[in-house]
Structure 1
Amino acid sequence: MRPYTIRGKTYYPETVKVGDTQSGLASWYGPGFHGKSTSNGERYSMYAQTAAHKTYPMNTMVKVTNTNNGKSTIVRINDRGPFVAGRVIDLSKKAASDIDVVARGTAPVKLEVVGFYGKTATISTPAKDRVFLGGNFMVQVGAFKNRTGAEIYKAQYDGESGYKTAVKEYHADGLYRVFLTGFKSEDEARDFALNTHISGAFVVRQ
């Protein structure tokens, strides 16, 4: 969340909340950066569901929709960029392939903040401005290429801390995702994701 300067311009990372949106051009980066360090110290993989954004907090989960074709994908912010006028997000090659951006290089997109991964979930606006009531939040606890694996995981965690599991198929990436449902607010879902023993759990909005 510290300000940083690129080419003489200073950027100030911002707090965001689930439901925030932004529009602009998406681009992608691939082989030339594969294996190199990202801004948060990870190794960039062009096959991962990640992206670069100039100001969103690291580990923000973002739904990216190509407004030309309606295709969407979900990515985790782990890098900074793109530092080109008009561009709002730089996708991994995998994420760009999900929404047909690779061939054209860029595409108009809509971004929507859908959740937070790990401890970055504590970075947000004041609770009075960010809590949504009505049970609209889930916690993703797994993702599988085949439904059989997802159903096994669903059965394993059904009833965990009193919450029910559900499996949803995402056509954009072909994965079956397992969610815990029944949370009454964003805060309740975040508290669970931060304290659960289930590795990799994060909050999404339905």
Structure 2
Amino acid sequence: MNAGSRVAVRSLALALLGGMLGLSGCSSTPTTRDAVPRAEAYSKYGNPASYEVLGQRYEVMKDNRGYRETGIASWYGPGFHGKRASAGEEYDMYAMTAAHKTLRIPCYVEVTNLQNGKRAVVRVNDRGPFHDNRIIDLSFAAAQKLGVVGTGTALVEVRHLDVDQAPPPQESAPVQLATPVPEWGRNVFLQVGAFSDATNAERLRLRLASARIDQVDVARRPDGLHRVRIGPLGSVEQADELARQLDALGVSSRHIVLD
């Protein structure tokens, strides 16, 4: 096991062992203010070239610029509070922070809850979530601001922010969404491939169909690509089960799209 692997596994093990709040040095009430992007040196501790957790290897990005992704967010709180975050500092569930598997850390992202229009700017300073079908793990404070605490998960868009890209503060009013509002059972799909050659797209569709994965189609887009997608998906639970099926087939290139 290389040094990066040991670091990641040690961080995860410490977090999983935590049950009671470690309050030393941490605040006790959630902030409602967005994190403010500022220039910071990347953590040597938190940015190995790659690391392994629970048998899965993750490659850390060399450059965060341009990162933007739609997917399922979750949140983490008491069991991790006061433990060492991957950037080398304490995790504070009451601060506006988040965990991401592959972004270079620390960094700043804007997270928009596509289901209610709420937005938060968070500082990414930890690794996770180590759940196959989640793209970001929010602190309790960030989850509360985004309206995720009660539901546990939400469909979100995550966008990396450079230091000079901080959006105007947003305390409570939802933003005007440029993307469709997701509705389970109607417009949420899992895209598993995009091909310029229609034959390759059809080959993947047939492979999925032969594995008894339903609702697979090939959509030709204005850009000329043939996109293989599954759906519409009816729930987070269905998306999770589908992710497990695709893992078993070795189909790892996938992401949620709204149509």
Distance 1:139 1:65 in 2: 14
SS in 2 for 1:95: helix
Distance 2:169 2:166 in 1: 15
Structure 1 alignment gaps of length 5 or more: 117-136, 141-167, 174-206
Q: Is the 8 A contact 1:99 1:172 kept in 2?
A: no
Matched to 1:104, the amino acid is T
1:44 equivalent in alignment to 2:91: yes
Q: How far has the Cα of 1:170 moved from its partner?
A: 2.3
Q: How far has the Cα of 1:60 moved from its partner?
A: 1.2
Q: How far has the Cα of 1:40 moved from its partner?
A: 1.6
Q: How far has the Cα of 1:18 moved from its partner?
A: 4.1
Residue 171 of structure 2 is matched in structure 1 by: 171
Matched to 2:54, the amino acid is R
Q: How far has the Cα of 1:17 moved from its partner?
A: 4.1
Task: State which of 57, 61, 67 in structure 2 corresponds to 1:20.
Answer: 67
Distance 2:169 2:103 in 1: 27
1:67 equivalent in alignment to 2:110: no
Distance 2:76 2:90 in 1: 13
For residues 133-160 of structure 1, give each alpha carbon's deviation from its aligned partner in whole angstroms, at most 9, with x where no partner exists: xxxx4679xxxxxxxxxxxxxxxxxxxx
Matched to 2:113, the amino acid is N
Identity of aligned residues (%): 45
Distance 1:172 1:56 in 2: 27
1:81 equivalent in alignment to 2:123: no
Q: How far has the Cα of 1:19 moved from its partner?
A: 4.1
Q: Is the 8 A contact 1:63 1:72 kept in 2?
A: yes
Structure 2 alignment gaps of length 5 or more: 1-46, 174-259
Q: Measured at CA, do residues 138 and 105 of structure 1 come closer, stay the same or move farther in structure 2, by a change above 3 Å?
A: closer
Counterpart mapping for 1:25-174 below 5 A = 25-116=72-163, 137=164, 168-172=168-172
Distance 1:4 1:48 in 2: 26
Matched to 2:143, the amino acid is A
How high is the TM-score relative to the length of structure 2? 0.46
Name segments (4+ residues, structure 1) moved above 6 Å.
Answer: none
Distance 1:19 1:98 in 2: 25
Q: How many pairs does the alignment contain?
A: 126
Q: Is the 8 A contact 2:87 2:106 kept in 1?
A: no
Residue 185 of structure 2 is matched in structure 1 by: none
Q: Is the 8 A contact 2:64 2:103 kept in 1?
A: no
Q: How far has the Cα of 1:85 moved from its partner?
A: 1.6
Task: Provide the aligned C-alpha RMSD in A.
Answer: 2.0
Q: Measured at CA, do residues 138 and 85 of structure 1 come closer, stay the same or move farther in structure 2, by a change above 3 Å?
A: closer
Residue 176 of structure 1 is matched in structure 2 by: none
Q: Measured at CA, do residues 12 and 97 of structure 1 come closer, stay the same or move farther in structure 2, by a change above 3 Å?
A: same
Q: How far has the Cα of 1:169 moved from its partner?
A: 4.1
Q: Look at both structures and tell me which one has the larger radius of gyration over its CA atoms.
A: 2
Q: Is the 8 A contact 1:51 1:77 kept in 2?
A: yes
1:6 equivalent in alignment to 2:43: no
SS in 1 for 2:125: strand
Q: Is the 8 A contact 2:109 2:123 kept in 1?
A: yes
